[in-house]
Amino acid sequence: MSIPFTYEQYRSILKRMKKQGYHFIDFLKMNQVQPQDKAVILRHDIDFSLEKAVKMAKLEHELGITSTFFILIHSGFYNPLSLKSQSLLRTIHSYGHQFGLHFDDSLTEGTSEEELKAQIIHDAEFLAAILKTPIHYFSFHRPSERLLQANLDVTPLINAYSQPFFKDISYISDSRKRWRQMSLEQLIEQEAPQRLQVLIHPIWWSDEPLTFEESLTEIVQEQLKDMRSDFEAVLAKFPLEVMEPFGLTIPRKEAQS
């Protein structure tokens, strides 16, 4: 049976986890949890949309839950340095959430392990400077099986895929809008593991049930809308006579004032 991946369902899952006694913690606190307590690390890898991330951050905040949002600094879909992105990231942080680095290792393909580690640390420091908040964790963007099994130690940073968080405890992800052996709902109902890392990608969740293709289309439409808005804002500053030869008519609220 397919999973609707709606915000309503996500809210229901989180409420159920809280009711079952799960404590939502960050990576640094996992080793401080008492043996009898249930603990979950809730993580979000932001591959496409900061707007979607803000929606998820707000939903969790309303439930008194905090999580960690992993941000790409080399993304073709958002720029963490832009004014708009900075505003969205500040909003996420204002809800009490943390940030981590979402590292794309394809940019360091063919380099040595030491060079890879150095680049991860460099990018984490850069992200910390952008966000004006410490970065303690990183995750890999679309990691290869080799990276997943490497248990890469990049001290002082915590690798979200390192053994204590990926192999020693239960791990579940909604990658590509599908669960693997069982859904998150089934996992907490049937197995209820004491320790759990949950990876949720905001891109796959929406107000109404959407197929995989519809979710991607939604993101494309969002990107096009943003591009048009940005483009019009720039063109609105040009003289009308410059635009007319191109057949462009840009609305100007106060163009003639």
Spans of all domains in the chain = 7-204, 212-246
134, amino acid identity = P
Tens-digit pLDDT profile for residues 194-232: 999 999 999 999 999 999 999 999 999 988 887 777 777
Say if residues 40 and 198 touch (Cβ distance below 8 Å).
yes
What is the pTM assigned to this prediction? 0.90
The encoded tokens of residue 6 equal 């709606």
Q: Cα 111 to the chain's mean position, in Å?
A: 26
pLDDT at 252: 56
Among 250, 257, 246, smallest CA distance to 231 is for 250
Tens-digit pLDDT profile for residues 96-151: 999 999 999 888 888 899 999 999 999 999 999 999 999 999 999 988 888 888 88
Tens-digit pLDDT profile for residues 46-60: 999 999 999 999 999
Q: Which fold has domain 7-204?
A: TIM Barrel (3.20.20)
Mean pLDDT in the chain?
91
Q: Cα 115 to the chain's mean position, in Å?
A: 25
pLDDT at 246: 59
Q: Provide DSSP, 214-229.
A: HHHHHHHHHHHHHHHH
Cβ atoms within 10 Å, residue 119? 16
